[in-house]
A = this chain, B = another copy of it.
């Protein structure tokens, strides 16, 4: 049992270290020795858990998608409407892109040309945003004259763009930026903008 706990910790340390190296140097330049060194484990231990850099990257991508899904679940449970949960999730995501190397690396790997194994987290996120906006339309939460496709594309693209611009300037990834973005988008998008805005402007920022 103790051995299993230790193995799980080692695996977690490797995923975090890999995420840090992938986000900082890109997939091509990330070396397995630099990842095992950063995780404080031997090269042998790395190879015991991950047969290749590709497996390590997949694990980072899966972990990032899981984390975003968890944020979405939390935003959902504290929200009254679909739009509130969409706003809450993107706000949490922008903050996590700055604070959590796994989330940042998950999105980065999706746009890294040296990582050839599909768009991963990006495709998942794009689909997730589209589904939420469609759901909001079904629930009568969107303004009548707004196109769900256009809105979903703008929201998905902007969140991905915030991460890219945040690579050079962390100021792009914070609650204030997220609130500013939604203050711009919601009056056009929502049937009842003020209700959805409550998610970002509640006491303490993002709830």
Contacts and interface: CB of A to CB of B under 8 A. Distances in A.
Contact of A113 (B112, B145, B151): B112
Copies in the complex: 2
A66 B151 CA distance: 31
A134 to B, nearest CB: 15
A126 interface: yes
Contacts of A108: 113
B184 A150 contact: yes
A107 B111 CA distance: 12
Nearest to A119: B168
Contacts of A146: 184
Interface string A78-89: 000000000000
Contacts of A29: 28, 113-114
Which secondary structure characterizes the binding site on chain A? helix
A186 to B, nearest CB: 9
Contacts of A7: none
A72 interface: no
A172 B150 contact: no
Interface string A106-149: 00101111100011001100100000000000000000011101
Contact of A122 (B24, B119, B147, B164): B164
26 contacts: A23-B113, A28-B114, A110-B168, A111-B164, A113-B167, A122-B164, A122-B168, A123-B168, A145-B187, A147-B180, A147-B183, A150-B181, A151-B184, A153-B177, A154-B158, A154-B184, A157-B157, A157-B162, A157-B181, A158-B158, A158-B161, A159-B161, A160-B160, A161-B162, A184-B188, A184-B189
